[in-house]
Chain A
Amino acid sequence: MSRFETKDLAVGYGGSILIHDINVKLERGQILTLIGPNGAGKSTVLKSVARQLAPIGGAVYIDGRKLSGMTQKELSKQMSVVLTDRIRPELMTCAEVVAMGRYPYTDMFGRLTEEDRDAVRGALSLVRALELSERDFSTLSDGQRQRIMLARAICQEPSVMVLDEPTAYLDIRHKIELLAVLRDMAKRGVTVIMSLHEIDLAVKISDLLLCLKGDTVAAFGTPEEILGDDTIERLYDLMPGSYDLTFGSVELLKPEGLPRVFVVSGAGSGVPVFRGLQKTDVPFAAGILFENDVDFHVAQRLSDFVVSAPPFEPMTDAHFNAASRLLSSCGAVIDAGAPMGTLNAQNARLISFAKSRDIPVYESLEAMQKREKVTI
């Protein structure tokens, strides 16, 4: 029996279905992340899973028990949430906000027992916020607030935790810290279901991904299973720009037109040049690049004119010929300064070729921009 399961779940508002046929199975301690474009219904799915919104069809199960059959109190001991709602409690210390998580366990007047206080302290130390416990919640920064809200959810001692974009508003350091806490929670056996906007982080933190697009589930599985080269680009309709899954980096729109500059680079020296050219909207060609070079990864996302060579073999005359033909059509060459060795000797030849044809060769993008403002 799985810890968490949805069977043919259909969700939406006011009787109209937004997403249907959601079938998800999670074991104890697994992390599921929902990704997908804005408006794809991530929050709607999370709300339905947390029973804040009635599902239109299908059902959600925790440990084999149907969610809709549980009392509110039973559910609150099984599941806690971190929402996107920005709460503004007045005159409440962080410890008091966190202690609200003990709600299902305290007596009628909400008095805390020693056990409850221990749970609060434990949760606070887990999110590394013990020193905040006596601070007024309203004086906190966004990052601190989110940690406190996470601590509140933790001290509810759930078996399933649902988080709607827990990393929104957070800077990169706080994002990393927050996800580390979630990993920690998973290790302790809590099943985590959340939505993230940062695909790069989602791939790294999640055991399972659920891709939402349009009215159905685009894909469900481990990141390795479901993420092909262009999964993300298709999921987000990224066609003009592009997304590199390996590095989690985004490239902006390709400059259009025939190449006006030829960039000779290697071992990463080309990346800032390519991006600089993209910023000024200058179409460029690049070569000759080994196919395992970071320069190659970025170049092919920003240009349609890339001459590449298979790695670990010397570049050949054929590569030189292809590159020199492209180079001849360009008005300038940038030699970004790749280390020259025996395998890429053809690149040195390319520079000499440019000089012999009186095509100006610059050692950097800035040098070129200073000189060629008019012609390029």
Chain B
Amino acid sequence: MKQKQNNTPSPVQGAKNTGGAGRFVTVVIILLCLLALGTALNVNIGSVSIKADAILKMLWDALRFSLANLFTGGGFDDELGAVTGASTESRIIFSIRLPRMMLAAVLGGALSVSGYLLQVFFRNPIAGPFVLGISSGAKMVVGITLIFLSGFMGHIGSGTLIIAAFIGSILVTLLVLLFSGKVKNMSMLLVVGIMVGYICSAATDFCITFASEHDVVNLTSWSMGSFSGADWGEVRLAAIICVAGVLASLLISKPIAAYALGEGYALSMGVRIKAVRVTLILFSSLLSACVTALAGPISFVGVAVPHITRTLLKSSKPVFVIPASFLCGAVFCVLCDLLARTLFAPTELMISTVTAVFGAPIVIYMMIKSKRKRED
């Protein structure tokens, strides 16, 4: 079976060898189409049905307005309401459905890229912010912040939450790093991640036990994980952090590719290993922290989506995988969120309920596949 010899083109005519760029463009176009479809469905479907042509008109007005206002900034959502008319329909679209869908897209993408960076770091395809307990770590610190700081500060903004989640992510990543040491074994890393996740959950529960009822309500609704209640401020914040993080990751795509050959080789090719490792940890933590702070812990997207992306691209070139993962994650989360809010409407499912249904089987499949490979 291994002998699937050359049905490949003769490498001598290597001019054709574009290194998978053609496939990349195709995949990106398909993903963009899917994203457009997901957007359309998300905006269209809901407990209040709105006619498609009305939506299109509103969107068109909004687009014109936001293009005109792109550089002036300012009270985007309020003024937008003024332009598109303050009808209930436009409220539903512009204040509820659209920001929610945008947040799902941006955070889904960020989560996927974060997972991808972790997989590069651990040289292990099973790594991801949720699987390694990093989301739980973020949750722990966010929980502590919500419980203890809200007493002092009253309302806690998304910025503070992101910082808290970032601290939690970094702490747990370092902890996993400490425990896993030189472990290259896929299942061991997983075990370490799960254990660290339990420790963090235990700490969170401990805090909840001693917290006042009011604070706990806040925490519980947040920790369920959901994109609901998103507003434009959150979307803007998430977009700035995530897009910046993804672009920065793209800048280190060359050393990332070399890093995949192992540290010895990377070093001999001139990669500054320590800098790359620190960058990987910082960016992956930042991205997953942003997600956890704004939408709560979301499971399996970080593992499943990069895997799907690599399979689609048939390549692991970081220059292609990073942007494609972002897009793919956006599509994945937008569609999952659509399912989460429509499947049992008016009851909304937790977003993790849906992502786990699709993501967990992929993880199991990868475990089995990698085991088979080793036994060969």
Contact = CB atoms under 8 A, between A and B. Distances in A.
10 contacts: A50-B268, A83-B262, A87-B265, A91-B313, A95-B17, A110-B254, A110-B319, A121-B12, A121-B14, A134-B17
Contacts of A81: 264-265, 268
B9 A134 contact: yes
Name the 9 nearest CB pairs between A and B, nearest first. A76-B270, A134-B8, A103-B269, A133-B11, A110-B254, A91-B316, A81-B268, A73-B270, A72-B270
B157 interface: no
Interface string A90-107: 111001110011011010
A96 B257 CA distance: 10
Contacts of A76: 268-270
Interface string B62-81: 00000000000000000000
A85 B265 contact: yes
B262 A92 contact: no
A349 interface: no
A85 B268 contact: no
Interface in B1-30: 2, 4, 6, 8-9, 11-12, 14, 17, 19
Contacts of B316: 89-92
Interface in B77-115: none
Interface in B228-282: 251, 253-254, 257-258, 260-262, 264-265, 267-272
A79 B270 CA distance: 10
B265 A83 contact: yes
A100 B269 contact: yes
Contacts of A124: 11
Contacts of B123: 88
Nearest to A84: B264
Contacts, number: 99
A133 B11 CA distance: 7
Contacts of B14: 95, 117, 121, 133
Given A85-B265, A110-B254, A72 B272 contact: yes
Contact of B254 (A85, A87, A108): A108
Given A81-B264, A91-B316, A109 B253 contact: yes
Interface in A25-81: 50, 52, 72-73, 75-76, 79-81
Contact of B270 (A50, A91, A104, A138): A104
A139 interface: yes
A156 interface: yes
Contact of A100 (B8, B257, B264, B272): B257
B125 interface: yes
Given A72-B270, A92-B316, A109-B319, A103 B262 contact: no
Given A73-B270, A90-B316, A92-B316, A130 B265 contact: no
Given A133-B11, A134-B11, A139-B2, 20 more contacts: A52-B264, A72-B267, A75-B270, A76-B270, A80-B269, A83-B262, A83-B264, A89-B261, A90-B310, A90-B316, A91-B314, A92-B260, A95-B11, A100-B269, A103-B258, A110-B257, A117-B17, A121-B14, A135-B8, A152-B265
A313 interface: no
A317 interface: no
Interface in A115-141: 117, 121, 124, 130-131, 133-135, 138-139
Interface residues of A, number: 41
Contacts of A85: 262, 264-265
A138 to B, nearest CB: 8
A117 B13 CA distance: 11
A10 to B, nearest CB: 21
B17 A87 contact: no
Contacts of B271: 72, 103
A226 interface: no
Interface of A: 50, 52, 72-73, 75-76, 79-81, 83, 85, 87-92, 95-97, 100-101, 103-104, 106, 108-110, 112, 117, 121, 124, 130-131, 133-135, 138-139, 152, 156
B33 to A, nearest CB: 24
A100 B262 CA distance: 12
A50 B253 CA distance: 25
A101 B271 CA distance: 12
B315 interface: yes
A76 B271 CA distance: 9
Contacts of A97: 261
Q: Which of A50, A88, A104, A152 has the most CB of B within 10 A?
A: A88
Nearest to A158: B268
B270 A103 contact: yes
Contact of A101 (B2, B125, B269): B269
Nearest to A132: B11
B11 A91 contact: no
A90 B317 CA distance: 10
A90 B125 contact: yes
Nearest to B272: A72
A92 B65 CA distance: 46
Given A87-B261, A131-B6, A96 B19 contact: yes
Contacts of A91: 310, 313-316
A92 B319 CA distance: 13
A113 to B, nearest CB: 12
A89 B313 CA distance: 15
Contacts of A133: 11, 14
B60 to A, nearest CB: 37
B336 to A, nearest CB: 25
Contacts of B261: 87, 89, 97, 100
Q: Which of B12, B123, B261, B268 has the most CB of A within 10 A?
A: B268
Contacts of A90: 125, 260, 310, 316
A95 B271 CA distance: 20
Contacts of B267: 52, 72
A112 to B, nearest CB: 7
Interface string B353-373: 000000000000000000001
Q: Which of B11, B270, B310 has the most CB of A within 10 A?
A: B11
Q: Which of A75, A91, A117, A156 has the most CB of B within 10 A?
A: A91
Interface in B169-227: none
Nearest to B267: A52
Nearest to B273: A72
A87 B268 CA distance: 14
Given A92-B316, A135-B8, A100 B17 contact: no
Nearest to A47: B264
Contacts of A109: 253-254, 319
Interface string B115-126: 000000001010
